A and B are shown apart, each in its own frame.
Chain A
Amino acid sequence: MAFNNTDLAAFKDVWVFCEQRDGKLMPTDFELISEGRRLADELGVDLCGLLLGDKVEGLAKELGGYGADKVYVCEHPLLKVYTTDAYAKVICQVIEELKPEAFLIGATNIGRDLGPRCAARLHTGLCADCTHLDVDMGIYKDFLHEASTLDDARIDGLNTAMVLGEKHDVSRDLKMTRPAFGGHLMASIICPRFRPTMATVRPGVMKKRPYDEAKAAECQIVKPSFELSEADMQTEVTEVVKAAKKLVDLIGADFIVSVGRGISKDVEQGIKLAEELAAELGGVVGGSRAVIDSGWLSADHQVGQTGKTVHPKVYVALGISGAIQHKAGMQDSECIIAVNKNETAPIFEIADYGICGDLFKVTPMLTEAIRAAKAAK
């Protein structure tokens, strides 16, 4: 193999793939740059963005404002629109040349197409759809104390891992934590023998840091050389179509009113009542998997393990039983309000406030009460 990626010492810096669509950066770029900043500091290395496109250099400085020391910009007409062929070719070239030790990619539909293709070509490990990343052992252990049911002794003993029969010190490895089995299990993954360590990171999970004007000005722009030609292209994108319908921005919403199977008695009315409550709160409507699978709401409304992960200020669950898949996507909401006919519904176990009753009766009253409470302020 021409590319020796087992010499770990030869690799340094944390890289973030900064996805652009139609010449605009994606929200995940800022989330990952913000998170990458912390990891780079913990490792004592630089944080670098990797931006591919056609005439995209102008976007680079903004990435600096969220923490990038440097942005590698690769420009080419064939990089204007994402294709697996062109992007994987260019990215693998610059990685082989510049040797980052960690490479983060947003787990968007594009990131999850690109990441595995590159990891397979580079012969390295990729952890999919991560929800937590750590280098520093202290911070990692604090996270486990809070987010796991592991006992203290077990957590304290996690300084090493058995790798091919030998004890391996994990203190400088990127510890990539992700849910599996529908959120029932979490696992922390390491890539101890190969570099770069690669992770795709779930959108909406990492917190964006405040924009820093001075840091943006300092950000260095570097244009690495690469080869790319028509001969590399095995696929052709003939059109890119934005969804005509307005997409629900569940991830950014402060208030979400979600409906579940409980609306089945009168789907139209159930959704209408949820929309009215959401409008009063200034939020949006979401739905459980059952609602999306039944075709009552489109897939972009789905909250949960297979849908979106949200953490609004208030999450109202109407007629949602609270299957673990659903909880996985909303249990970190600041305040959860549940309305359900069934008093044993598991949603009440995680709700801050529960009302056991018929959503068709309770919802309009709740909308009215909130309107009145706001007016009284």
Chain B
Amino acid sequence: MDFALSREHKMLQKMMADFTEHEVKPIAAETDKTSTYPAQTIEKLFDLGVMGLCVPKQYGGAGVDALASAICVEELSKQCASTGDIVATHNGLCCAPILEHGTEEQKAKYLPMLTTGRHVGAFALTEPNAGSDASKGQTEARLEGDHYVMNGSKIFITNGYVADVFVVFAMTDKTKGTRGISAFIVEKDFPGFSIGKHEEKMGLHGSPTAEIVFQDCIVPKENLLGQEGKGFKIAMMTLDGGRIGIAAQSLGIAEGALAEAVNYTKGRVQFGKPISKFQNTQFTLADMQLGCEAGKLLTYKAAVKKQNGERYTVDAAMAKLFCSEHAMKVTTKALQMFGGYGYTKDYPMERMMRDAKITEIYEGTSEVQRMVISGNMGL
């Protein structure tokens, strides 16, 4: 077992840390405050090849592995979880399923759009009445000649109002439950496609979340992704990979908050000494550090297993569950160390805490992750 990153991964980590420090950190508070999609940052990430980095070179990507992808999201999320979310979604939930399940024609058409073409991607599964239980989806796609007619709506869609390409799940046969779900590649310019309400969220204000609506939306037949009825499987496989992204995002939030806490407690003097010198602070920081290290090992292991073509569903679930809960713990405790300052918007802690909460909810709640893990324990 070798726990060291390769020299390329180390270099990538350094580049992303540098990018985050100079391009992401300075605007993170403003991005949150004004709920602005960080368009310029995303453009720069396209320049660097971070958007679509797992896409093979022949389709315009960098053709690098899942571990590299996780490292990018982790570093970005240390300063801005919204930016991490946008990237994780684009790469893990849009590029990945097209790459893994698309036909050669679909890959040749859509992957260059999502890399060199600078189109942002999204993933649309959740509906008002179908969250953790995807089998109750109401969005329908009916085959009519050379195209499908899609009706329904999807909610909480990350990148919703900025994306150009969506991987959408719809019922092609309602009688079959999850076996009636199919996946489609939908462009925002297809007739009958529209953007609904923009969500106002507790955190992740820079990540554009919206409802998307299909009203007799015309989706060409050739945009069916995989076979009819295989949509649920594609969704689950995609979410397995996506969870590595969210694990990396939560890990980044936790590491970012820990670094802030270390820095602050060393400078904050109370009762005649820096509060970092109090054992109570030290023990809390030690636990935070411990969790970050454990989370990193879980996340990187899941990424490497995915890369090696091994089964990694449980690994991804464990990484996502552990890191998201750890991010929540770290941000809560770190905010406490900042005292009153932590509760103000002068410091990033309250934003980090708000941002952390979603990681326990989306791409499978903590409860769903426990279902996945326990479901594989032969109970």
Contact = CB atoms under 8 A, between A and B. Distances in A.
Contacts of A265: 346
B145 to A, nearest CB: 59
Nearest to B269: A344
B191 interface: no
Interface in A55-100: none
Nearest to A342: B267
A249 interface: no
Nearest to B274: A344
Interface string B264-299: 000101000010000000000000000000000000
A265 B267 CA distance: 19
A221 to B, nearest CB: 55
A343 B267 CA distance: 9
Interface in A343-371: 343-344
Interface residues of B, number: 4
Interface string B331-346: 0000000000000001
A178 to B, nearest CB: 31
B132 to A, nearest CB: 43
A342 B263 CA distance: 13
Contacts of B267: 342, 344
A344 B269 CA distance: 8
B344 to A, nearest CB: 12
A265 B346 CA distance: 9
A331 B299 CA distance: 49
A290 B211 CA distance: 42
Contacts, number: 6
A265 B269 CA distance: 22
A344 B267 CA distance: 7
A9 B88 CA distance: 73
B310 to A, nearest CB: 47
Interface in B216-250: none
Contacts of A342: 267
Nearest to A321: B267
Interface string A126-153: 0000000000000000000000000000
A343 B346 CA distance: 18
A337 B274 CA distance: 24
Contacts of B346: 265
B267 to A, nearest CB: 6
Nearest to B26: A294
A135 to B, nearest CB: 46
A216 B312 CA distance: 88
Contacts of A344: 267, 269, 274
A342 B269 CA distance: 9
Interface in B173-232: none
Contacts of B269: 343-344
B265 to A, nearest CB: 12
B269 to A, nearest CB: 6
B249 to A, nearest CB: 27
A312 to B, nearest CB: 29
A265 B274 CA distance: 25
Interface string B11-49: 000000000000000000000000000000000000000
Interface string A315-353: 000000000000000000000000000111000000000
A297 B82 CA distance: 31
A20 B269 CA distance: 54
Nearest to B346: A265
Nearest to A345: B267
Interface in A94-111: none
B274 to A, nearest CB: 8
Contacts of A343: 269
B360 to A, nearest CB: 33
Interface string A278-293: 0000000000000000
A342 B346 CA distance: 14
A56 B123 CA distance: 75
A57 B203 CA distance: 72
A223 to B, nearest CB: 55
Contacts of B274: 344
Nearest to A265: B346
B347 to A, nearest CB: 12
A266 to B, nearest CB: 12
A265 B344 CA distance: 14
Interface in A26-61: none
A341 to B, nearest CB: 10
B240 to A, nearest CB: 42
Interface string B253-271: 0000000000000010100
A343 B269 CA distance: 8
Nearest to B268: A344
Interface string A113-130: 000000000000000000
A342 B264 CA distance: 11
A13 B280 CA distance: 69
A344 B274 CA distance: 10
A349 B274 CA distance: 17
A265 B30 CA distance: 12
A343 B272 CA distance: 12
Nearest to A343: B269
Nearest to A294: B26
A260 to B, nearest CB: 15
A4 B269 CA distance: 64
A344 B317 CA distance: 44
A344 B346 CA distance: 19
A147 B346 CA distance: 41
A343 B270 CA distance: 11
A294 to B, nearest CB: 9
Interface in B337-379: 346
B21 to A, nearest CB: 13
A15 to B, nearest CB: 46
Interface string B70-104: 00000000000000000000000000000000000
A343 B273 CA distance: 12
Interface in B52-86: none
A269 B267 CA distance: 26
B288 to A, nearest CB: 23
B194 to A, nearest CB: 41
A342 B267 CA distance: 8
A344 B273 CA distance: 10
A32 to B, nearest CB: 40
Interface string A253-267: 000000000000100
B276 to A, nearest CB: 12
B293 to A, nearest CB: 29
A361 B269 CA distance: 22
A266 B269 CA distance: 26
A343 B268 CA distance: 9
6 contacts: A265-B346, A342-B267, A343-B269, A344-B267, A344-B269, A344-B274
Report the 6 A-B pairs with minimum CB-CB distance, sorted nearest first: A344-B267, A344-B269, A342-B267, A343-B269, A344-B274, A265-B346
